[in-house]
Each structure stands twice: as C-alpha cells, then as structure tokens.
Chains A and B, each alone.
Chain A
C-alpha cells in the first residue's frame, strides 16, 4: 500500500534563509509524486510534480524537489524563503489515474 511520511510537523525558518521539507514515500511501483501548498482555510495549490525523467523538478514560486529512488524521498527545497511562503505543505504520492495519498503535512513558519 502507498504511504507518505513527512517527519517534520512544523518548521521555522528566517526570511531569506534556505528551506528543505522532507518527504519519504512507500510505493510498489514508480510513483507519481507531488508537493502541494495550502494557506489557512484555502484549497490546495500544486507546487510541482514528478512523473519521470529528470529527478530534479522545478516548480512554481521558486520551489524545487529532488526525487531519490534509493532513499524513497522527494524533498522540497527553496533557496530563499519569503514571508508569504508561510503555509502548510503536503507531499503526496499517487499512481497513474489512481488515488493520491497525502502526508500529514508540514507547517512552515517564517520569522522576520
């Protein structure tokens, strides 16, 4: 069965500092991997996705993620965090045309 683990419930970084959010997955086949962001009371916005090919994926808002099959990881990174990045971030794993399972989420706090 597919599963996603986000080890960090919350993370605090200073504005302008770099960010890395961790995600580990379990899936029997080649996974589709996603990162979503959710602001309070809002729906989900897709940051980036990985289906195949280049393991370093570029997304919106300056985010990137790297797929490492050997570590079953898909960590999200951003070189310089902005205050507007404060939100909840969800890693998700899915299959072609099938259900997507979400991690527990990591809440990002940005301090001035």
Chain B
C-alpha cells in the first residue's frame, strides 16, 4: 500500500506570494491533518479534514487555509507569505478521526520564504 505523498517536496517563494501544497493520503484513509514543523517549535497542528469538512483548526492566522476533495486528497494554501512561514509542512492521514488512531506522515514539503 502506497504511503502518504506530498508535493512538491521543496519550494522557494518570496514574501507576499502565495503557495499551495498538496497531500495524497493512504488509500482508504479519510482524515488528513496538516502540521508545521519549525526548529524549536516541534510540530504544530494546522488543521484536520475529514470527509471534505474541516473538523479542527489550530492557532494559525487566516492566511493558512486548506481543503479536502472527495477522493480525500488535501491541499493547504498560504497567502501573503512571510519569512516566518519557512518551515517543513507535514501532512498525516488516518483511517478516521474517532478514537486513538495512528497517523501516518508524509515526507513533508520544505518551504523557504525569501
């Protein structure tokens, strides 16, 4: 079974631009969560989607948004990029949101904002 895939793997953008990252979950998984990893901050939760609906959202500004499609693939968008948005963005998929589930992470997209 193929794992979680994320595209692109690396991205360089300039301040003020916007960016869209893509995540394809493991086949059959309906929940996709997004995390931001920066040095010294660990993994910080961005949002979770389940069956095309945003279930939960972390403490990030409105410049960060996402969506999930009917095939469970998910995209996240960051508008008006800032230098501090440089990070590794990870998505994780799981079978569902209920109970103590295991999340499977993709390799991440490394975003550099200059």
Asked if A and B are interacting partners, one says no
